[in-house]
Amino acid sequence: MEVGRVSGIYRYPVKSMAGQALEAAALGWHGVEGDRRFAFRRLADESGFPWLTASKVPELLIYKPVSFDTNVDSTPTHVRTPEGNDYELRSDELRKEISRRHGSEVELMNLKHGIFDEGHISIINLGTVQGIERESGRDIDLRRFRPNIVIESESAEPFAEDRWVGHTLIFGEGNSAAAVRVTMRDERCVMVNFDPDTVERDSEVMKTVVRLNENMAGVYCTVVQAGELRVGQVVTLVD
């Protein structure tokens, strides 16, 4: 059953920093190529989740990974700070900058397969974002939800993706088409309250998600067939 088309593809090279909008991307067995490959680890944290995230330092959301390589799909070479300074990704200058923001020492980690809170792929239906926007009375930028894939569904029904859990989504056509298994709904955290451009906080966003759909917006997926993602692809739901 056709459920819509891909209207957006995003990757987040550095965990909790700004994402990159892509027209096309390779989908590997561990998610979108280059997604969340880097993260800053809190040196004083001995928990099982030592990664520095925007829930602790919201300003991370407006640090922008950039590349000065001519290949637009290349790994970022620098990070642009909110003040407009460009630091090399692996530089001591950037490490000191992030440590200062956090108030404690951090170090950059490079993990080949990415660093994820839950599933390797997050998907949201554009109708879900529009429904939250209507109910909250706010202008909602879908980047608040930090999806990898945005699907514009035929019905534009909010939270239609909840019914995809337990099924497979196929992107495009042919035997080599990329495919993911939808494993669970995406329970939201306070990060949806932060404007992705200004970090201004608006708690009404998360309150609306709680009110409308038990604090669930979007779904997590695992990859069952590697392939290419492209904006405009038809998305098909199968058992």
How does pLDDT run across 135-186, given as a tens digit for each residue? 999 999 999 999 999 999 888 999 999 999 999 999 999 999 999 999 999 9
Q: For position 144, which CATH number holds?
A: 2.40.33.20
Boundaries of domain holding 21: 2-32+117-238
Q: Is 102 helix (H, G, I), strand (E, B) or coil?
A: helix
Same-domain pairing of 90 and 132: no
How does pLDDT run across 95-132, given as a tens digit for each residue? 999 999 999 999 999 987 666 555 689 999 999 999 99
Which one is predicted more confidently, 133 or 48? 133
Q: Locate tokens 């739901």: which residue?
A: 237
| Dist. CA 143–CA 206, nearest whole Å | 14
The pTM (predicted TM-score) of the whole model is: 0.93
The total of structural domains in the chain comes to 2
- Position 112 scores a pLDDT of 73
| Helices 126-136/204-213 angle, 10° precision | 110
- Position 202 scores a pLDDT of 97
Torsion angle in degrees (nearest 10) through CA of 194, 47, 19, 3: -90
- Position 117 scores a pLDDT of 59
Arithmetic mean of pLDDT, 38-58: 90
- Position 67 scores a pLDDT of 86
